[in-house]
Amino acid sequence: DTEVTQTPKHLVMGMTNKKSLKCEQHMGHRAMYWYKQKAKKPPELMFVYSYEKLSINESVPSRFSPECPNSSLLNLHLHALQPEDSALYLCASSTESSGSYEQYFGPGTRLTVT
């Protein structure tokens, strides 16, 4: 199983809502990532978890709150988002965060903030 799954596929939320994005992998990977991708742009790294601990936070606003409940799951909690936060949110995983280990990407959650 080389699949990273993400739910939901699409999400529309208002600026006062609280919602969560979910990511799951069962490849035994110990590194998991959140990326944000705007249309026609490359993915931008947001967070890296290594062995269930947050190892990299790319100065992401606090309205985005990551959580890694166990080695297979990664959540991104959203609160008080702005319309400019609308984007495709991609989750990825790799065996470890260092070295050549390739990242496997999920299909993404397309988020629209109204």
Partner 1 sequence: GEDVEQSLFLSVREGDSSVINCTYTDSSSTYLYWYKQEPGAGLQLLTYIFSNMDMKQDQRLTVLLNKKDKHLSLRIADTQTGDSAIYFCAEKDAGKSTFGDGTTLTVKP
Q: Interface residues with partner 1 (CB under 8 A)? A: 4, 31, 40-43, 45, 48, 50, 55-56, 90, 92, 97-100, 102-108
| Residues 82, 50 contacting (CB under 8 angstroms) | no
Shortest Cβ 16–partner 1 spacing (Å): 28
Our CB check for partner 1 shows the closer of 11 and 97 to be: 97
Contacts of 59 (CB under 8 A, 6+ apart): none
Our CB check for partner 1 shows the closer of 65 and 105 to be: 105
Shortest Cβ 65–partner 1 spacing (Å): 21
Q: Where are the beta strands (DSSP E) in the chain?
A: 4-7, 10-13, 18-25, 31-37, 44-50, 53-57, 64-70, 73-79, 87-94, 104-105, 109-113
Our CB check for partner 1 shows the closer of 79 and 110 to be: 110
